Structure 1
Amino acid sequence: MSEPEVDPTSPTSAGAQIRAAENVLAQAGVASPSYDAAELLAHVLGVSRAGLPLVRAVSAEQAADFDALVQQRASRAPLQHLTGSAGFRYVELRVGPGVFVPRPETELLAGWAVEQARAAGEVPVVVDLCTGSGAIALSVATEVPEAEVYAVELDPKALVWAHDNLAGSGVRLHEGDMAEALHELDGTVDVVVCNPPYIPLDAWESVAPEARDHDPALALWSGDDGLVALRALEVAAARLLRPGGVVGAEHADAQGETAPGVFSASGRWTQVRDHPDLAGRARYLTARLRRDGHPGVAR
C-alpha cells in the first residue's frame, strides 16, 4: 500500500510550519529567514533539510519545540547555538554559549593553512592560535593527517568546546595567551594560522546581535583600532616559525591595508599579501618569515 501524499497546505505540514516561521524571523530582522526556519525544523524532526518535503506531518509536540526554537532565533540567538553544531569545510563542530561560532569565510584561511602544511614537508608542524572551537586546527589535522597540529586558546569556556571537538584528532590543545604559548616550539613551526579578535571597541553598534550578544568578548574586541591582537600575533608568529615559515591571519574587511601593514612595518617578513573572500572583500593576510636572520625577529 502506498504512503499517503503530503498535503503542503495542511497546517501540520513541514512547508506550512516553515512559512509561518519564516515570517516571524523576517520580521525580527534575521538575515536568512527561509534557511534558518528550515534548519531549525530539520533539527527538531531529526532529518536533513533535503528530507523535509518527505515529512508527512509535524506533530503537536514537534511544532511546540520548533516554535520555541524559532522564538529564540527571533531574539537573535545564533542558529548554531540552537542546533548545537556548525559545519566547517569537511568537519562538523559542536558549538554553543561560550565559544565563537566559526564563519564560512574562515574556511578560506583554513584552506590556505591546509595547502601550506601539505607543501611544508613530510611532517609539517602547524600551530593554530586563538583556536576557539578548534575549527581550523581540526580541519588541518583531518585533511593533512601527517601534520603535527597544536592549538592554543585563552578563554576557559571556549577551551571546553575545543577540547570536545578536538578529542581523538591528534591535535595538541594548550590553554594560554598566544603571546607566550608553546615556547618549546620556537623556531621550528612551518605554519602559524590564526583567526584573532579584530573588531574595534567603537564598532559595537555595527556588529550583528548574534555575534555582539552571544560570541565571547575575547573573540571579538581588539582595542581602539582592532589591531591589538594582530600585533601580538606578529611577534608570536616570528618567534614560533622557522626561517621561511608562513603565517596567515583573518581580519575585518576594512583592514585590508592596516592588517598587512602590521607585518610589513616590523621588517621581519617578506611576501606580505592580502587575500579576498568569495565576495571580493579583504579577508585574510599571509606572510613569510625572512630567511636572513633579520635582527628584529622575536626569539
Structure 2
Amino acid sequence: MTKANSLTGSASGAGGTLAEALRRATAELAAAGVPSPRVDAELLAAHLLGETPGRIRALAFTDVPAPQGYAALVSERAARVPLQHLTGKAHFRYLELSVGPGVFVPRPETETVAQLAIDAARRAGPAKVVDLGTGSGAIAAAVASEVPAAEVHAVELSPLAFAWAERNLAPLGVHLVLEDLRTALPGHESSFDVVVSNPPYIPAEAVPNEPEAAEHDPAMALYGGGADGLELPMAAARTAARLLTEGGYFVMEHAEVQAPAIARLLADDPAWTDVQSHRDLNDRPRATSAVRRPAPKTRPSERMKT
C-alpha cells in the first residue's frame, strides 16, 4: 500500500480515526507519567505513517484512520521504553541519528557542549578534533557536519554503542576507533586542537529518576566510577592533556553538582589554564572547559667550564 493510500482508508476499523487514536494515546501516556504525552503520541503516529509531526496535526482534523500497530507502539512507550528506541531515531542539532538498545540516547543539554567544541574547531582553522566516549556519535557527527574542514576522530569502548556510532559517523568521514578513553589514540600525543567528551559521570549510588534512563540507557554510559562519579571524567581530562597541542581546547559535560569539583581539579592541575564553567539550555552548569597550558620552557644547561 502506498503512503497516499494509507491515509485515505475507512476509519471504521477498531483503531478509529487518527484524531481519536491520538486522544487515547495522549491519555495513556499521561497516565504513565510520560513527560510530553501529546508530542510523543504525534511522533509515534508520524513514525508509522512516514509523515512529519506538523502533517499529523493537520491530518487529525480529518477522518484519516489510525495507523496499524499504533496502539501497540503507544503501549510500549507507556511502559517507558524510550521514544527514540521505538522510532530508531534521535534528533541532535541539525542531525537525525540512528539509535536503539545498547547506546545512550543523546540529550538536548549536550547540544551546548557540541556548540563549544564547534566554536573552538572553527577558531583553530583546519582543526583536528576528537570526541572521547562518543556513544551514538552525536558530538562527533555535529562537529564533522558543521565544521567540514575539521579532521574528526571518535573513541568508543562499548561494542554495541560502537555499532550505532559507526552507522552515524561513517557517512561523515569520522575516524572511529574501538578504544578505552583512558588510553585512547596512542601515537597521537600533542596533535589535537580540540578534545570534547561527554563521559559517564553519574555517581554509583545515584540511580536516574527517569525509567527511560535507569532501565534502558546502558550502565556503561551512565556511571562515572567512584562515590562522586568523577573517575572517568578526570580520566578523560588526563587523556585530553596528553592528546592536545599547546593552547588546545578541552570541554567536557558533567552533572551540575559536579561543576565546582571539576573546575577546582582542573584549576589545580598544572596542565590547564583558563578554566571556565558553561551553562546548558536550562541555565545549569553543565560543562567545563580548559586550555592546554604550554609546557614550561627549560633553560639550556650552562656549558661546563674546562
- Mark yes or no: TM-score above 0.5: yes
The separation in 2 between residues aligned to 1:98 and 1:266, in whole angstroms, is 35
**In structure 2, what is the equivalent of residue 227 of structure 1?**
230
- Percent same amino acid among aligned pairs? 49
| Kept in 1: contact 2:18–2:65 (CA 8 A) | no
The separation in 2 between residues aligned to 1:168 and 1:260, in whole angstroms, is 36
TM-score scaled by length of structure 2: 0.89
The separation in 2 between residues aligned to 1:257 and 1:58, in whole angstroms, is 54
DSSP 3-state at the match of 1:256: helix
Structure 1 residues 105 and 294: CA distance shift in structure 2, 3 A: farther
**1:84-163 counterparts in 2 under 5 A?**
84-121=88-125, 123-163=126-166
- Give yes or no for the alignment of 1:13 onto 2:17: yes
The separation in 1 between residues aligned to 2:214 and 2:127, in whole angstroms, is 36
**1:65-84 counterparts in 2 under 5 A?**
65-84=69-88
Larger gyration radius, structure 1 or structure 2: 2
| Kept in 2: contact 1:14–1:53 (CA 8 A) | no
| Kept in 1: contact 2:103–2:218 (CA 8 A) | yes
The separation in 1 between residues aligned to 2:108 and 2:18, in whole angstroms, is 27
Point out 4+ residue stretches in structure 1 off by more than 4 angstroms.
none
Structure 1 residues 54 and 35: CA distance shift in structure 2, 3 A: closer
**1:218-257 counterparts in 2 under 5 A?**
218-223=220-225, 224-257=227-260
TM-score scaled by length of structure 1: 0.91
Q: Point out where structure 2 has 5 or more consecutive residues left out of the alignment.
A: 1-7, 299-306
Deviation (angstroms), 1:294: 8.5
The separation in 2 between residues aligned to 1:73 and 1:248, in whole angstroms, is 34
**In structure 1, what is the equivalent of residue 173 of structure 2?**
170
RMSD after superposition: 2.1
Number of aligned positions between the proteins:
286
Cα deviation per residue 1:20-46 (whole Å; 9 max; x = unaligned)? 111111111111111111111111111
